Structure 1
Amino acid sequence: MTFRSLTCLAAILALASCSSLRSPIVPGAVPKDHGAIGATEGPAWKDGSLYFTDGKHINRRGPDGKTTVFRHNASNGLLFDREGRLVACESGLRRVTRTEKDGRITVLADRFEGKRFNTPNDLCMDSKGRIYFTDPRYGSREGMEITASFSACSPIGSVHGKMPIENVYRIDGVNPVMLMLSGSGLSGLDRPNGILITPDDRHLYIADNNNNTRGGSRKLLRYTLDENGNVKLGTRKVIFDWKDGRGPDGMKMDAAGRIYVAAGTNKATEYETTRFKAGCYILSPSGRLIDFIPTSPDECCNCAFGGNDGKTLFITSGGHLWSVPLK
C-alpha cells in the first residue's frame, strides 16, 4: 500500500470515528407516535412494509399504513436474510424458524443436545449468513430443560446440583446449533436478550438484561470474535450500564458504528426504577451516550431501520410504534 493510500485510509477512519460521536437525528425532528397498534417486538423492514410482533402474531404494516396479520402464533425478534426470507424467534413455541417465499415454515432450531430451548428472544446474522440468537427465560422457570452443573458451599457442607441456564447460540450449516456463551451468571453473562454483530464480524454485542430480578444485570456487553466467529475468552467488556432501571432490549447499529438500544421504562416495578426513561439510547461503539429518543407509554423493547431510504428509525414501545428521521 502506498503512502497516499495509507493517508487516505487514515482520513476515512478518522472521519468515521468522528461520525460515530455525532447525533444522527435530523435537527428539530420529533418522534412520531403511530398509535397503539400492538408493536411490541420485532421489528424488521422489507419492500415498503414494517413487520413487527404483538406477543402472539407477526404483523405487517403496509405502505398505506394499514396493519394486517402476516403470520399467526409467532413472536419476538425478526430479521430478513439476504434472500428476503423472514427469520423469527418464536418464544412461545421455543424455536427459531424461517418463513420461505412460498409461505412454508422451516424450523431452523428447536433443541440443543436434544433439549428444548427456553424461549428464543432475539437474533442477528453475520456476513456468512450464520444466525446468532439469545435464549433467556423471563417469568416462570417451569419447563426449562437446558441445565448446567454447579457446586456451592453451605453451612452443612458442599452442595451439588443442576441449574437452568440461559445461553447464546449460533445456527450454521455444518453444526446446526453451537453454544456460543453460557448465561445465568456463567461467563460473566446473566440473562441475554438483544443481540448484535458488527458488519466486520469482529464484535458481538449482548443486551444482558435480568430485569425481573432485584440486583440483576442491566448491561450492554461486548465480546470479541475470532476468525471462525467464536467468542474469544477474556474479551467481555461492559459498554453501558442501566443500573437499577429497565435494562437493554433490542438494538441495531448504523453505518457509522453507532448503537441504537431500546431500553428504559416510564413505569416503576418491583424490580425496576424509572432512573432511565423509556426510549432509544444512541451510543458510540465504546459506550458513550450520544443522544436519546423518548417513547411512551411504558417500556421500550426494540428498533429497526426502514423507510424508502433506510434513514427512518422505527421503535416499538409499550404496544405503540414510533418513528424518527435520521441524517
Structure 2
Amino acid sequence: MPHAMNRRKLLKTASATALGAWGAAAGAQSFGFAPQQRYPDPSVFILDPSFAKYRIYSSTIEQLGTGMRWAEGPVYFPETGTLILSDIPNNRLMKYEEKTGKFSVHKQGVNYANGNTRDRQGRLISCEHSVTRRVVRTERDGRTTVLADSYQGKRLNAPNDVVVKSDDSVWFTDPLFGINGEWEGARATPEQATTNVYRIAKDGQISAVVTDIVNPNGLAFSSDEKKLYVIEWKGTPHRSVWSFDVSADGSSLSNKTKLIDADGPGALDGMRVDRDGNLWCGWGFSGALSAQPSDIGGGMSAYLPLGKSEEMDGVKVFNPQGKPIGFIRLPERCANLEFGGPKRNRLYMASSHSLYALYVEAHGAA
C-alpha cells in the first residue's frame, strides 16, 4: 500500500510539473503547430526573387504563446523588451517578455481593446473599440488619458487600429466591428454617418482625414512618412490597401490610389512597413462562400467556402509598388503584426489564438 501511495504521489507530482511547464509555454504546441527541424523553413515562401534577401536561411517560425480567442494589435516596447497585444473577446491585454519567454495576462477589463501602438515618449496608446469606444493613452503612473471619444459631438464608432507620426500626431481608423455584435464587445447603434480615418493633432484637435472608405481597418505610414496606407475591409468589392499622399505639414491627405487588391477570397487586416518600404500584411481567407449550395451528403446542401484557410493564412509581403514578393504561411489567420527585438528584425504575428515570431533580414520602420 505505501508503495502504491508513493507511486500515485509521484504521478500526481509529474502531472503537475507537466501542466506547469505547459502553462509557462502557454501551450506552445497546440493548434497543430510543430516547429520546423529543417532549414530553411518551408513555410516561408519567396514569391519574387527580391524577397530572398529578407529570408534568413536558419530562422524558423516559433509559437510563443496561445490560448487567446482573437489576437490583435501587437506593439513592441524596446525599453523593456516586451510585446503587448490584445485578446479582444476575452477583454484583456497580453504580454510577452523576450528575456524570459513568459507569456501572461498584462491587464484585464480593457474595453475590448483592439489596435495598440506606442507614442514617441514610450507610452501605450490603445483603441478601446467597444463600450467606451475611444482612443486612450496609458501614462507612466498607470493613469488613463482619453485622446478621442467623439467627433463633432457624436460618439466614435469602434476605434480599430492606430499609429503615431513623428510629429506626435495620432492617426486611427474607426470602422463598425466593435459594435456590430456581442463577440468583440457590445452591440450598439453607430452615431457617425461614415466610417473614417481620424488625425489627432499634437494640440488635441481631431479631424477626419478620410471619409470615403467602408470600414477602414489597418493603417501604416511609409518609411519616409510621405504616404499613409489604409486597409479597406469592404466595399471595393475586395479588401484593398489604399495609398494617400501626406501633405508637407502632415495634416491632410490627397491622391487616393489603390495599391493592393486582395482579389477574391484573400483578407487583409493589419500591416507594418519595413525600412525598405515593403508592406508586411496580415493575410488569410475572407470566409467568402460560393453562390450556390453543394451536396455534402446526408441529404444536405451547404454553401462551401471559396478558399482554403490552410493555404491562405499567414503574412503576405508586398513591395512599395504593391507587388507580392513573399509569404509566411501560418496554421492560423494573422490579424496583425509588429517588428520587435533589439534590432527590430523579429517579426511578431498575432494570429487568431496564438502569437508567432520569425527573425527576418528586414527591420521595422521607426
- TM interval, short-chain normalised: 0.7 to 0.9
Query: What's the CA shift string for 1:103-144, capped at 9, x where partnerless?
Result: 001111000011111110001111101011000012357410
Q: Does the aligned pair in 2 maintain the 1:41–1:316 contact within 8 Å?
A: yes
Q: State TM-score, norm by structure 2.
A: 0.71
CA 20–99 in structure 1, closer or farther in 2 if over 3 Å, else same: farther
Contact 1:223 1:231 in 2 (8 A): no
Paired residue for 1:59? 94
Deviation, 1:177, is: 0.9
Identical positions, percent: 29
Deviations 1:152-199 (A, max 9, x none): xxxxxxxxxxxxx210000113352111000xxx3xx22200001124
CA contact (8 A) 2:209 2:253 kept: no
The unaligned stretches of length 5 or more in structure 1 are 1-18, 148-164
* 2:106 aligned partner: 70
For 2:207, give the aligned amino acid.
Answer: M
- Matched to 1:50, the amino acid is L
Match of 2:301 in 1: none
Q: Which residue of 2 aligns with 1:223?
A: 244
Corresponding residue number in structure 2 for 1:313: 347
Q: In structure 1, what is the Cα distance between the partners aligned to 2:172 and 2:358?
A: 27
State how far apart, in whole Å, the 1-side matches of 2:244 and 2:327 are.
24
Q: How does 1:82-121 map to 2 (within 5 A)?
A: 82-92=120-130, 93-121=132-160
- Say how many residue pairs are matched: 282
Change (3 A) 1:174 1:34: closer
Q: How far does the alpha carbon of each residue in 1:223-278 deviate from its partner, in whole angstroms, 9 at most, with x for none?
A: 11111224444x1111111123242111111111111000213x845497426711
Q: What is the distance in 1 between the residues matched to 2:155 and 2:315?
A: 32
> SS in structure 2 opposite 1:249?
strand
- The within-5 A match list for 1:121-160 is 121-138=160-177, 139-140=180-181, 142-147=188-193
Hey, what's the Cα distance between the residues in 2 that align with 1:125 and 1:229? 12
Q: Note if 1:262 corresponds to 2:282.
A: yes
Q: Distance in 1 between the 2:284 and 2:120 partners?
A: 32
Cα distance change, pair 20–172 in 1 and its aligned pair in 2 (3 A): farther
Question: Does residue 1:180 correspond to 2:204, yes or no?
Answer: no
Corresponding residue to 1:26 among 56, 59, 70: 56
Q: What is the TM-score with the length of structure 1 in the denominator?
A: 0.80
In the other structure, the counterpart of 1:244 is 264
Q: Secondary structure at the match of 1:300?
A: coil
Decide whether aligned partners of structure 1 residues 65 and 27 sit closer, same or farther in structure 2, where only a CA change above 3 A counts: same
For residues 258 and 338 of structure 2, the distance between their equivalents in structure 1, rounded to whole angstroms, comes to: 23
Q: Deviations over 1:41-96 (max 9, x none)?
A: 01011121111110011111123222232222221111111211001111122100
Q: SS where residue 267 of structure 2 aligns?
A: coil
Residue type at the aligned position of 2:124: L
Give yes or no for the alignment of 1:170 onto 2:216: no
- 1:246–1:288: structure 2 CA closer, same or farther, 3 Å change rule? closer
- In structure 2, distance between residues paired with 1:31 and 1:278: 14
- Are 2:243 and 1:209 equivalent residues in the alignment? no
Give runs of ≥4 in structure 1 deviating > 4 Å.
19-23, 269-272
> Kindly tell me: are residues 220 and 22 of structure 1, through their superposed partners in 2, closer, same or farther at Cα, counting changes over 3 Å?
farther
Of structures 1 and 2, the larger Rg is shown by: 2
Q: 1:178 & 1:61 partners in 2: Cα distance?
A: 34
- Give 1:22 shift: 5.2
| CA gap 1:22/1:229 in 2 versus in 1, 3 angstroms | farther
Task: Call closer, same or farther: CA 1:217–1:318 in 2, change over 3 Å.
Answer: same
